[in-house]
A and B are shown apart, each in its own frame.
Chain A
């Protein structure tokens, strides 16, 4: 088999790791977690905008991968499967939070920060708290205001170089639907940025 790119190399290596993990190899699983941890955490953080929750969701995604590795069908890319698990966990968490109380409401005078962002947690390091309150990239706040289905589509679209096909497999939706959501998400962000001049 001719290896045509670095990506092919990675995929072959990944396949080998997965084979080992199916036999219960913890070290191989560790390698896989290291390979994907940043991307999965990034995905969760963009969706939830709470580093505590994002970490929890991201870790849980990998645990699910380990427990269900038998069910992984390698006709799909592993990353597609992993991102789907992580996305669904994030969506479930968001829906659960909405059911509790709407802390998504903006507090006046705080320039787009939500009430959630202002609650300090006891076990969070001081420098992490700073991360809560100072958004280095304004658009992250606006993503949080998007309706859930646009937020998911936009997050995945800009996560890394995911193809439309991969995104549609992750979200389990037709490609046309995915494109529509991405476009509407962009338009919504455009409007949001326009009215909320920072």
Chain B
């Protein structure tokens, strides 16, 4: 075989044009004294030269015409309309996502405007005053979380242990206690912001 793998490695570096001058010099000196390595090198050189001077094969006649013949019939313009979608699939996905989210949010807002007074009070039973369209938290009632009222006003005589959110209504002066914050949402833009905040709750 060979006296040391290190010499082999350098030989290959030489054939890859990656050996330093120093390495080449050392190899030459070694080959002068080591018959095995010299033989190994000569054989590798034969391989190397055979590969380099190997026949270059030319593509057959009519090659290009054949290629053109294999193209599917697509007409001159390759799908101008879908060009941008294909180029930027992530952008397309993001836009579709945004469109869907936006329409969900907007339809959510439109659903509020059925003019029906409603509320969500985490199970607490509240009173609805139909004449004034007001949802009242009675004096001795506690809402154990957030209160959301739709299409009506809010009057808190009891306690709300969370935030009060009023959609298309107003917060009336009250004697009660709200632990969190109160917020009125009257416009679509406010609704959008509210929806985004709720996503992260």
Interface size class of B (residues with CB under 8 A): 35 or more
A-B contact number at CB 8 A: 107
Report if A145 contacts B (CB, 8 A): no
**CB <8 Å contact, B59 and A63:** no
Is residue A105 contacting chain B, with contact meaning CB distance below 8 A?
A: no
Whether A139 contacts B58 by the Cβ 8 Å rule is no
B16 touches A45 (CB 8 A): no
Chain A 60-95, CB within 8 Å of chain B: the 1/0 string? 101100110111000000000000000000000000
How would residues 46 to 57 of chain B score, 1 for a CB under 8 Å from any chain A CB and 0 otherwise?
A: 111011101111
Q: List the A side residues contacting B107 at CB < 8 Å.
A: none
Binds A, one of B63-71, B91-99, B161-169: B63-71
Contact status of A37 and B63, CB under 8 A, knowing A70-B83, A186-B12, A193-B43: yes
Verify B68–A26 contact, CB threshold 8 A: yes
A193 touches B46 (CB 8 A): yes
- Say yes or no: B43 contacts A139, CB within 8 Å: no
Interface of B is mostly: helix
Are A182 and B16 in contact, CB atoms less than 8 angstroms apart?
yes
- CB < 8 Å: which of A41, A137, A182, A193 contacts B59? A41
Category for how many chain A residues contact B: 35 or more
Confirm or deny: A170 has a beta carbon within 8 angstroms of a beta carbon on chain B: no
Contact A59 B67 (CB under 8 A): yes
Contacts A70-B83, A139-B54; is A37 near B43 (CB within 8 Å)?
no
Select which of A59, A69, A157, A179 is within 8 A of B63 by beta carbon: A59
Contact assessment for A30 and B86 in the assembled complex, using a CB-CB cutoff below 8 Å:
no
Q: Verify A63–B71 contact, CB threshold 8 A.
A: yes
Instruction: Tell me how far the C-beta of B60 lies from the nearest C-beta in chain A, rounded to whole angstroms.
Output: 6
A23, A136, A164: which contacts B55 (Cβ < 8 A)?
Answer: A136
Q: How far is the CA of A187 from the CA of B50 in the complex (A)?
A: 14
